[in-house]
Structure 1
């Protein structure tokens, strides 16, 4: 599908669009005290405010996202306390998410990502960004970030954080083009009322990519060669959501095709590629009785497919003459259902739920293709089979006093391949008048080992461990939140003990090998979030994070994070300026590979600061012109490389600009 065709079709559909300007006006017209009363649902599956919810949470509304001009989830997550994002070397479109200093691999497996309550994390890697890369958030009504554990409700992968993207409906068309050959179009359309409605969203993007100088560590990681490369890509999204009385349906398709840059850690060149396609569908039903008891259920299906092709260098030959190429394909299907029953009991509220999933790997074929004309060597990346997951969970929210709320939660998960695990939760929320709340929370969360960790046959450096146990995070948190007419403020302290933490380590017996093992890890830190309305036209948002105890001596996560955004709106003009700062971190690597894999070296990657902006001008009642800029200072920085013998790091994108036209007719 060509972008030019998509742009033409979008122009034909212009008469279907309607006004979106009023939504932008809401950004500063709604006071922050009113924002504090907006409802969030991800932490308890019941409606709560930011003061009453028994979790550390951050909330971004559609108006906030539009004011910043961000398009993809990782761009927004970088502004949330405790969350880190970085680029990896498995493709040009991979941006990982991590929370509270815990990060393993390139797939964000410690953070659970949901779209309208449906799990996005795959079973192959355990993460959300291997097969669903660069999640588009243009049609998000709100995005709820749980900073901390969530397994008492959601089970595995809600170890250090949960992100729930709640989609909405709007009517708008956006066309844009910019530097690095970027051209994109997106459109939304909706009709109906609250009980019977239909919402559609689609987006296409094509980019030629930035210029990079990439490190190729073969044959000697200590003296790597450098290759000029780009990161061209084609991206497509389609989303449909419909409601009819008690029934609802959603369907989502995502296409991410990238070339050149790195593929699975190797400089890919013109022939390398990383192409992924994913489909998600769900059918839901909800019924409420007169006694306020409600039953809701959902049946969902997902189909994910990714193909990787990389010319590789496995012997001391010039990098421009690779000896062989690696091809890999992973196809994953999953059927799932979840049912929740909830209602009141005296002054309390109770909730019971059951979840069943059957993720199945249907194709894990791989091949090594020699460049000397010999026959390809065929192999499986892992066994092509599935496993069954069942979860039972319950929750009780009881007011011990008029201003003191107790939340008790418990979930039991059973995996067909390693057994069961129980995740408890206890929280006390003390309301101190109308403007303050004090929260004391304890949770246990877990992450089931992914198929990559227990059964992958693809790595020549890191061997899978079929005996790996689930890692368990025991977290104690203390949070104070303050809300007043002009602002919202919260500060939290957390302490997490990781039992059976999954780590990569050298094992000498029965033969020397690097593999995944279970160990222990202790992480503690603090997070601060502050929103303030300075005047009628100005708002700011500040996030600070510090990790007191990083858990590992050789930690690949930054210990200090800071971000800020400043928004202005007056008449036809609106502007946003946002910045992020990430402290230095260490990139663990194997500079003496393959001679000695028993030692781990590291490279220090310096701190970085990036600056972005979004400017909008209401040129006509129905037309808005926008200018968006990323990395305005053209900061040169490096991220952690996943390929063990890459001791240099992965370069981030430079400065970019995009000019846009938005049509939102009244």
Structure 2
């Protein structure tokens, strides 16, 4: 806290002492200049100017995604200050992990990812994406990101940050398109998209199929000393349907990944044969009335999600001939089936002159209702190899479990004086398996001048233990601990946004956080007890240099320390520098280039390997501006200069030279708009 006090004072002095810049235009003019990316809803649940939102937030629009040439959510998220997308360093299966402000762990359970406001978190590992189940970006209207705690509104796992992916409606699409693309690693996909009004219905539909062999970079030394290519190929199917009727909206989506490779193996031993199938079906129905009563709006929502992760070709945990206890190797096929039901009600009362009250309540029922495992080993003393058998009891990797959550939250946006707004909120969550937790937040926003906004913010958040951390049994990696408590974080932030003129905007955010009750592996089980502290900041600049040239960029710094060892927490970069230029030229063409510099990544305590090399990746995308009808094209080159990009592996994984990411690659796409 003490570090931020002088920094906060400096921001306040700066706010009152800067020389007056050009007057800020009305919100409509600002939206015209900067587009819809200058507004955000995730900070309070209500649309508002980004500069006035009581949080450090970023918005990525569909246009930005297209300019970047991003094909997946993780590629698009690299444009967020203070967020670094790494790869799973716990199980080495190459699932994206989202490190926010230096908080980077194996499965990124400290970042809440939502789709249209509904969490897509799996209770199995607490992560948003399992087995490469990443959303494609073609049907995304915008992505809103909060850096910092969000549990006061969104509950569990809105710990280091919150990501909300908003899919396209009929108005966003307004027509019909078909497209196909292909590129490096024998990758291809084709998709169909439609949006329009049919009678009283607003209908948006999207369907996509594709396949990739995945990059094949070489692991020079795995856990048993072998070398070989990573195994990250898969086949994919994605479908989404959005129907609006009056006050009702129904959304459903389907995601399938087949023949998913195991990266560098579940136990760090290369597994070229293991295959996984992951299938997700989600659906939600909402009813919303902005005039339910005088000065009161009401939204009711019910949501369902089913997630199946099956091993279709048994995983080779340890190959034969390595461990004399298991002469034929350790082989298994752990599979699980998960379902979630969520019910919520949200109301907003605006009848007070200076207050806007938001309140909500809900119930979640989260369960792994079926598990199955065939394997040839037992871990019960003494460990031994057996013929393949159907595991049960303590030999089963995880038995079915259920979690029930009830919650209530209250938020007040209080305009207590001209140009001053105090947002306060509190949420209480009651869990059936580990008890209750209460998380408050406060944010003071001062519009110091027509072109200058200053914010001071405090919030707490929690991360719920996953089912693996609580209940894992016959797991060759680690056992669960049913007595775990949730992780906790307290964060203090200060920020200033300066609209230098109509075409130039800059912002600076400073933060400090403290984490307690960190869940980590101690011996052969999970335990609470770790502590971590961190501080840093993010500087952003957006400049419309000319009518046809837009420049954006940010620099982020963080330092996180493991207080148990007084050593750097490891894995996350201390410095990130990102810059992008979007140049519109000729008759309807756009050329975009982006540079991403990742620097100064330390090893965790006890890892004596040299520090990871810094890297700079450069991407270029040339695309035609989408016409109302007819063809448009795009060509992207990723990692243009073929940089050797590696993300950190754990010291105990056996992957000495870390996790290599793709070298130079290409993607060409054509779309026809009917």
Q: Greater shift after overlay, 374-383 or 466-475? A: 374-383
Superposition pairs of residues 323-338 of structure 1, within 5 angstroms: 323-338=329-344
CA displacement at 1:322 relative to structure 2 = 5.8
Cα offsets for 1:220-275 (capped at 9, x unmatched): xxxx2212344321122101111100111000111123136434244454421122
State the distance in 2 between where 1:175 and 1:60 align. 24
CA displacement at 1:569 relative to structure 2 = 1.0
State the distance in 1 between where 2:443 and 2:122 align. 30
State the distance in 2 between where 1:77 and 1:445 align. 22
Superposition pairs of residues 645-660 of structure 1, within 5 angstroms: 645-660=654-669
- Equivalent pair of 2:183/2:668 in contact (CA under 8 Å): yes
Consecutive unaligned residues of structure 2, counting only runs of 5 or more, are 1-28, 378-383
1:426 aligns with 2:437: no
Cα offsets for 1:446-468 (capped at 9, x unmatched): 11111121212354343322222
SS in 1 for 2:52: coil
Partner of 2:554: 543
Cα offsets for 1:390-434 (capped at 9, x unmatched): 110000011111100010100000101111010001110001222
Superposition pairs of residues 608-623 of structure 1, within 5 angstroms: 608-617=615-624, 622-623=630-631
1:202 aligns with 2:213: no
Cα offsets for 1:544-587 (capped at 9, x unmatched): 11014444534121111111111011222111111211114245
1:376 aligns with 2:389: yes
CA displacement at 1:648 relative to structure 2 = 2.7
Decide whether aligned partners of structure 1 residues 214 and 100 sit closer, same or farther in structure 2, where only a CA change above 3 A counts: same
Q: Greater shift after overlay, 402-411 or 42-51? A: 42-51
Partner of 2:282: 280
1:341 aligns with 2:347: yes
Superposition pairs of residues 592-611 of structure 1, within 5 angstroms: 602=609, 604-611=611-618
Consecutive unaligned residues of structure 1, counting only runs of 5 or more, are 1-28, 507-512, 590-598
Decide whether aligned partners of structure 1 residues 373 and 191 sit closer, same or farther in structure 2, where only a CA change above 3 A counts: same
Q: CA RMSD in A?
A: 2.7
Decide whether aligned partners of structure 1 residues 294 and 610 sit closer, same or farther in structure 2, where only a CA change above 3 A counts: same
State the distance in 2 between where 1:211 and 1:450 align. 32
Superposition pairs of residues 130-145 of structure 1, within 5 angstroms: 130=130, 133-145=133-145
- Equivalent pair of 1:157/1:446 in contact (CA under 8 Å): yes
Partner of 2:359: 352
TM-score, normalised relative to structure 1: 0.87
Partner of 2:242: 241
SS in 2 for 1:388: strand
Aligned length: 617
State the distance in 1 between where 2:34 and 2:263 align. 46
Decide whether aligned partners of structure 1 residues 432 and 610 sit closer, same or farther in structure 2, where only a CA change above 3 A counts: same
Decide whether aligned partners of structure 1 residues 252 and 131 sit closer, same or farther in structure 2, where only a CA change above 3 A counts: farther
- Equivalent pair of 1:93/1:134 in contact (CA under 8 Å): no
Decide whether aligned partners of structure 1 residues 165 and 194 sit closer, same or farther in structure 2, where only a CA change above 3 A counts: farther
State the distance in 2 between where 1:71 and 1:467 align. 41
State the distance in 1 between where 2:239 and 2:84 align. 27
Q: Greater shift after overlay, 345-354 or 282-291? A: 282-291
Superposition pairs of residues 416-565 of structure 1, within 5 angstroms: 416-457=432-473, 459-483=475-499, 484-506=501-523, 513=524, 515-551=526-562, 552-565=567-580
Q: Greater shift after overlay, 73-82 or 631-640? A: 631-640
- Equivalent pair of 1:32/1:532 in contact (CA under 8 Å): no
Decide whether aligned partners of structure 1 residues 625 and 37 sit closer, same or farther in structure 2, where only a CA change above 3 A counts: closer
Decide whether aligned partners of structure 1 residues 218 and 98 sit closer, same or farther in structure 2, where only a CA change above 3 A counts: closer
Partner of 1:510: none
- Equivalent pair of 1:329/1:365 in contact (CA under 8 Å): yes
- Equivalent pair of 2:221/2:656 in contact (CA under 8 Å): no
Partner of 2:294: 291
Decide whether aligned partners of structure 1 residues 324 and 132 sit closer, same or farther in structure 2, where only a CA change above 3 A counts: closer
State the distance in 2 between where 1:632 and 1:458 align. 45
Partner of 1:18: none
Partner of 1:630: 638
TM-score, normalised relative to structure 2: 0.86
Partner of 1:186: 191
State the distance in 2 between where 1:619 and 1:200 align. 19
Partner of 2:373: 366
Decide whether aligned partners of structure 1 residues 290 and 657 sit closer, same or farther in structure 2, where only a CA change above 3 A counts: same
